[in-house]
Amino acid sequence: MDTKIEPEVQRAIECIRSKTNFIMEGGAGSGKTRSLSEVIGEIGQRYPDRRILCITYTNNAVNEIINRVNVKNIVVSTIHKFLWNLIKQFQDEIKWALNELIKEELINKNIPENFDARKLEKITYDDYVSWNRGVISHNEVLSIAKKLFDTKPKLSKIVEGIYSYIFIDEYQDTDKNVVEMFLKNLNNEKVVIGFFGDSMQAIYDRGIGDLNDYNLDRIEKKKNWRNPNAVIKVGNNLRIDKMQQESGKTNNIEGKALFFYGKSEELLKQHPRYQELKLSDDDFKRLQLTKKSIASAVGFPNLYELYNIDMVINLIKDVKEKNENVEDKTLKEVVKIYCKKRDSWKFKKESYKRFEHKNFKELINQKINRDSLLSFDGNLSNSNPNRDEILKYLDRIYEIITLYEDGKIGEFLTKSKMKIGSISDKNKISESMRKLLDGVNDDNICIGSVVELAKEELEIKTGDNFDKFIKEEGQYLWERIKEIPFKEYKKSIEYLEKKTPYATQHSVKGSEYDNVFVMLESSWQKYSFDGMMLEDGEEPSKRALKLFYVCCTRAQKNWLYNI
């Protein structure tokens, strides 16, 4: 037995040798991802010809694991991407499974009347469902794959023929269908399955939560290498399983875990216990429940609302999904119909006044990609392809301004495509940049005016893609976004570049910060904080408790919680 690797990894290797499926359960700060990486590394050394499949929850997690391991025979993927790549070639089987699932009412969301998948030329996979075009989304991929695994043995044989090991990271967030399609259909003599995670960090409603109902060899990681003693104590009191963590450090600090109730933030800062910390606002990572509340706190509420909860775009999507008959009706007329049908649908007149007399059919292809606004990856030169053409153009302006202000004149000239051949050219550029900077630093200037200023002063062309976008599917978006203050765009970039202390409570799982300030604004449908301490609490209360645990265990020194 190799004594250089940690005991939990040694036990996982023993399970692999004996062809036993296992679960490695680790509390906060226990180094679960490190252990997963070590298990993969050990397999790579001992069995270099055997292929490994590693499934994780997000694309960011995929990249993290890829960067940690140095093994050739490995595929790291999100579950949806892996399953779709596995089944997409079997179009006849997919169509059969889809029809069966609809017949069994396991898929029943907005299915057109007399829908028959066999009549479609091809089934494809995208972010949003379009039944008439044969487009399925994440949920349908999981359901179809589960159906095919359960009824078509050849799919299991394919997986068994390719992979010797399947490791599922953050198992608690994995759909129960995924767990069962692997455990019930794959022969562990051919494929050993290992699960890595923590049932107390199951914060998503679709995740399986725990694996107590399955016969798995259980490996526990009880050392906590992150939290101070005060926070470890709180975390242990919150856990609803039997695991109790202890510090992995020999000289761990005590730290602080402070609860404040019913106080405004200004009053809280005057409290003696708070003042004892001698910390400023900038010393805390501030965790809030929703991106909407963060957008409001940081300063881009209108931009966030446009991209995420615009009612006109929601209306268009709903009409398309349900194949509603809106023949010869204007947008204003369709809005009235929907407001009568659904009390919860509230439209702001200013959001559609420019289009209210347009025939609704002319608007049916208008789109706003809700992932676009927050898909900026912190690198202006490599904006995520999800960014729409308007945001890409604003990113260009922002990058050119940043390069100029940072004194990176060579890069500035390259990006702006400007040339200095004389003193006159230099003076002209300086004057143009002064006007542009005066404009973008005016809190009242709107996005549309900044675009015009950039085109006029620096001759930054919008390009064919931009012009086509705002004339076609982005026309509605352009009419709305150009009226929003440019300062909201700047604030959104500050947030995405992590230049603000804010983060959502969901997004910090796996992260750590010296000092954490958790703000509880209110409960919402999926999380009931009012009942999270009740032993017989319902699912929203249990999820709230687990989210509370995740937030608590990010702190390396001090943790504050304000209700």
With bands split at pLDDT 50, 70 and 90, how would you rate the model's confidence at 381?
Answer: low
Classify 7-83+148-221 by CATH class: alpha beta
State both tokens at 136. Answer: 């399925």
Residue 419 has pLDDT above 80, yes or no: yes
pLDDT at 1 over 60: no
Average of pLDDT values for 110-121?
A: 90
Q: How confident is the model at residue 542 (pLDDT cuts 50, 70, 90)?
A: confident
Q: What pLDDT does 343 receive?
A: 61
Confidence at residue 189, expressed as pLDDT on a 0 to 100 scale: 94
User: 204-229, pLDDT tens digit by residue?
Assistant: 878 888 898 899 999 999 999 999 99
Q: Which of 70, 6, 11, 82 is nearest to 40 (CA)?
A: 70
Lowest-pLDDT range of 298-302, 483-487, 518-522: 518-522
Q: pLDDT tens across 234-286, in order?
A: 999 999 888 999 999 988 999 999 998 876 788 888 899 999 999 998 999 99
Local structure of residue 435 (DSSP, 8 states)? H
pLDDT band at 332 (very low <50, low <70, confident <90, very high): confident
User: If one looks up domain 246-289+505-562 in CATH, what number appears?
Assistant: 3.40.50
Percent of the chain at pLDDT > 70 equals 93
Find the distance separating the first CA and the last CA of the chain, reported in whole Å.
50
Share of the chain above pLDDT 90, in %: 65
H/E stretch holding 409 reads helix 409-416
The string of pLDDT tens digits covering residues 471-519 is: 999 999 999 999 999 999 999 999 999 999 999 998 898 899 999 999 8
Mean pLDDT across the chain:
90
pLDDT for 63 equals: 87
Q: Which of the two residues, 459 and 2, has the higher pLDDT score?
A: 459
CB atoms within 10 A of CB 102: 16
Rounded mean pLDDT of 521-546?
A: 72
C-alpha–C-alpha distance, residues 442 and 447, integer Å? 11
| 7-83+148-221 and 246-289+505-562, same CATH topology | yes
Q: Which of 115, 106, 195 is nearest to 146 (CA)?
A: 106
pLDDT at 523 over 80: no
Residue 427 or 340, more confident: 427
Please indicate, yes or no, whether the overall pTM of this predicted structure exceeds 0.85.
Answer: no
Q: What is the pLDDT of residue 382?
A: 53
Residue of 357 and 41 predicted with greater confidence = 41
**pLDDT band of 20, cuts 50, 70, 90:** very high
pLDDT value, residue 537:
64
**Cα–Cα distance, 391 to 383 (Å, whole number):** 9
Rounded to whole angstroms, how far apart are CA atoms 200 and 192? 25
- Name the pLDDT band for 52 (thresholds 50, 70, 90): very high
Of 221-225, 242-246, 294-298, 378-382, the least confident: 378-382
Angle between helices 79-87 and 153-162 (to 10 degrees): 110
User: DSSP readout, 171-235?
Assistant: GGGSBHHHHHHHHHHS-TTT-EEEEEE-GGG--STTB----TTS--EEEEE-EESSS-HHHHHHH
Q: Residue 3 has what pLDDT?
A: 52
- Measured CA to CA in angstroms, residue 489 lies from 122, 376, 448, 466, 555 at distances of 39, 12, 12, 17, 31
Kindly report the number of other CB atoms within 10 A of residue 461's CB atom. Answer: 13
Domain boundaries in the chain?
Answer: 7-83+148-221, 85-145, 246-289+505-562, 298-500
Q: Which of 59-63, 149-153, 233-237, 352-356 has the least mean pLDDT? A: 352-356
158 — pLDDT class (breaks 50, 70, 90)? very high
